[in-house]
Chains A and B, each alone.
Chain A
Amino acid sequence: MEKKDRGIILSIKDVNKSFPGVKALDNVSIEIERGIVHGIVGENGAGKSTLMKILSGVYTKDSGTVVFDGEEIEHTTPIESLNRGLSIIYQEFNLVNTMSVGENIFLGRFSEMHGMRGTHAEARKLLDSIGCSIDTHTLVGELSAAEKQMVEITKALSFRSKLIIMDEPSSSLTSDELKQLFSIIGDLRAQGVSIIYISHKLDEIFELCDMVTVMRDGHVIDTRPVGELTRADMITKMVGRSIEHEYPERPHCVGETLMEVRSINTHKLHDISFELKKGEILGFVGLVGAGRTEIVRAICGADKVKGHEVLIGGVPVHIKKPAHAKKLGIGLLPEDRKLQGLVLRFSVQSNIAMASLDKMRKFGFIDASQERGIAERQIANLGIKTPSPQTTVLSLSGGNQQKCVVGRWLEINPQILIMDEPTRGIDVGAKYEIYVLMKQIVENGGSIIMISSELPEVLNMSNRVLTICEGRITGEFNPEEVSAQTIMDSAIG
Chain B
Amino acid sequence: MQTSILSFGKRTLRALTRQKAVIAIIAMLILMLFFKTNFYTSYNLLNVLKDAAVNEIIAFGVTLTVIAAGCDLSVGGVMCLSGITAIQMMNGGMSMWLAITLSILIGALIGFINGFFVVQQRTEAFIITLGMGMLLKGVCQQLTDAHPVSCTNMEFMKIANGKIGGVIPNLAVIMIVFGVLVYALLRYTSFGRNLYAIGGDYEVAKYSGINVVTTKWIAFVLSGAMTAIAGVLLSSKLNTGSSIYGDDTALMVNCGVVVGGTSFAGGVGGIPESFIGLMVLQLLTNCMNMLGIAPYLQQVAQGVVIVGIIWLDCFGRKRKREDV
Contact = CB atoms under 8 A, between A and B. Distances in A.
B201 interface: yes
A105 to B, nearest CB: 10
B11 A99 contact: no
B7 A137 contact: yes
Contact of B204 (A95, A267, A304): A95
B207 A78 contact: yes
B188 A115 contact: yes
A79 B200 contact: no
A98 B265 CA distance: 10
A110 B193 contact: yes
B324 A79 contact: no
Interface string B200-213: 11011111111000
Taking chain A's interface residues, is the majority helix, strand, or loop, or is none over half, making it mixed? loop
Given A78-B207, A99-B197, 10 more contacts: A96-B197, A96-B201, A97-B201, A107-B205, A108-B194, A108-B205, A266-B324, A267-B323, A303-B322, A304-B324
Interface string B207-231: 1111000000000000000000000
Contacts of B266: 98
Interface string A67-101: 00000000001110010000000000011111100
A103 interface: yes
B267 A267 contact: no
A421 to B, nearest CB: 19
A133 to B, nearest CB: 14
B172 interface: no
B299 interface: no
A110 B196 CA distance: 12
Contact of B200 (A97, A108, A111, A298): A97
A111 B268 CA distance: 20
Interface in A294-336: 294, 297-298, 303-305
Contacts of B200: 96-99
Given A82-B209, A108-B194, A95 B201 contact: yes
B289 interface: no
User: 6 nearest interchain CB pairs?
Assistant: A79-B209, A98-B267, A96-B200, A108-B208, A98-B200, A107-B208
B123 interface: no
A111 B193 CA distance: 10
Contacts, number: 76
A6 interface: no
A98 B324 contact: no
B324 A268 contact: yes
10 contacts: A94-B204, A94-B207, A97-B267, A98-B199, A98-B268, A99-B197, A266-B324, A294-B324, A303-B324, A304-B324
Contacts of A110: 189-190, 193-194
A96 B324 contact: no
Contacts of B268: 98
Interface of B: 7, 11, 187-190, 193-194, 196-197, 199-201, 203-210, 266-268, 322-324
B207 A298 contact: no
Given A99-B197, A115-B188, A267 B324 contact: yes
A111 B194 CA distance: 11
A304 B322 contact: yes
A288 interface: no
Contacts of B201: 95-98
Contacts of B205: 96, 107-108
Given A96-B205, A98-B268, A115-B188, A103 B193 contact: yes
Nearest to B322: A304
Contacts of B190: 108, 110-111
A276 to B, nearest CB: 21
A475 to B, nearest CB: 24
A99 B323 contact: no
A58 interface: yes
Nearest to A117: B4
B12 to A, nearest CB: 12
A444 to B, nearest CB: 33
Q: Which of A58, A98, A268 has the most CB of B within 10 A?
A: A98
Nearest to A78: B207
B213 to A, nearest CB: 14
B324 A137 contact: no
